[in-house]
Amino acid sequence: MDRFLDDLSVGDRFETPTITVDEDELLSFARRFDPQPMHIDRVAAQQGAFKGLIASGWHTAALVMKLNAEAKFLGNTPMLGMGVDSLEWPVPVRPGDVLRVVTEITKITPSKSKPNFGIVSMTSTAYNQDGQIVFVAKPNCWVPRRPASLQSS
């Protein structure tokens, strides 16, 4: 069922399924977008500070987007990211890690200029298989109110 701004409350909490970090994808993402030794060179990474390959932080961010997008918390209602208040990568993500995401709504701000929309502030936290927090993001999304045609009569 599609959900709209009207259906959301501060404190609502959404959990995603898991995804396993694939080493080939980790390498190909980093070769294209973040070609640093710790992300693309198994030997150099093994000898470096992290004792092995770690994912580009932007690959982790993209995997979190994937988990959230595929979970379709709002059904087919479009959610547009306007910005993110902060991003952190407290623990490295490694090949074979199993990630899952918990997203919680922290604030809902009706738009003053466009009364059919509001800004939903969230905290998305990604955990690895050991329960360690590997990624925290605080996105702000633009979410429509329920169209008048769908109001219950």
Q: Does 143 bind a copy of itself (CB under 8 A)?
A: no
Nearer to a copy of itself, 11 or 90 (CB): 90
Q: Nearest to residue 121, comparing CAs of 10, 4, 6?
A: 10
Q: Nearest to residue 3, comparing CAs of 120, 113, 153, 124?
A: 120
> According to CB under 8 A, which residues from 81 to 140 bind a copy of itself?
81-89
Decide: 2 and 75 in contact? Cβ < 8 Å: yes
Q: Count other C-beta atoms under 10 Å from residue 4's C-beta.
A: 18
Find the shortest distance in angstroms from Cβ 99 to a copy of itself: 13
Find the shortest distance in angstroms from Cβ 81 to a copy of itself: 5
Site string for a copy of itself, 28-67 (x = CB under 8 A): -x--xxxxxxx---------x-------xxxx-xxx-xx-
> According to CB under 8 A, which residues from 10 to 29 bind a copy of itself?
29
Stretch of 7-15, 80-88, 93-101, 104-112 contacting a copy of itself, by CB under 8 A: 80-88
Which segments within the chain are labelled E, that is strand? 13-15, 19-20, 80-88, 98-110, 117-127, 133-144
d(CA 115, CA 52): 50
Find the shortest distance in angstroms from Cβ 153 to a copy of itself: 28
d(CA 47, CA 38): 9
Number of residues engaging a copy of itself in binding (CB under 8 A): 32
d(CA 46, CA 113): 53
Give the residues lining the site for a copy of itself (CB under 8 A).
29, 32-38, 48, 56-59, 61-63, 65-66, 69-70, 78-89
